[in-house]
Amino acid sequence: MAISTLLYFIITLVLGVGAFLAYEQGYANPLIEKIGDGKLKRDRVYFFKAKAKAEQKALELKGEKAGEDFVNSQLDGSKQAGDVQDGIGAIGGLKKNI
């Protein structure tokens, strides 16, 4: 029992050190790019669009009107969604910051 626990610990340690070294040496960059450009990027865009919609609803509840008092493209969520699509900013430029 103790031998198997020690063996699992050693395997986990080796995998962790290997993953860290792969990240530090840049071998994990293709995987990071694939994750950042794929489904996660699309999900971030949806999140920020939903945030913009919530901001719009909040402004409408305060009595402001879309197109008169504010423009949808001026909302923070809309700007962030555009940045993600363009690959800029802290979230849109995932690979650039790593």
What are residue 70's DSSP bridge partners? 66
Domain residue extents for the chain: 1-28, 38-97
* Three-class SS state of 70: strand
Say what the pLDDT of residue 7 is. Answer: 95
Average pLDDT over residues 31-55: 73
- Distance separating alpha carbons of residues 45 and 76, to the nearest angstrom: 12
Select, from the ranges 27-41, 50-64, 79-93, the one with the highest average predicted confidence (pLDDT): 50-64
Place of tokens 């994990």: 28
- Distance separating alpha carbons of residues 33 and 16, to the nearest angstrom: 20
Nearest to residue 51, comparing CAs of 71, 72, 28?
A: 72
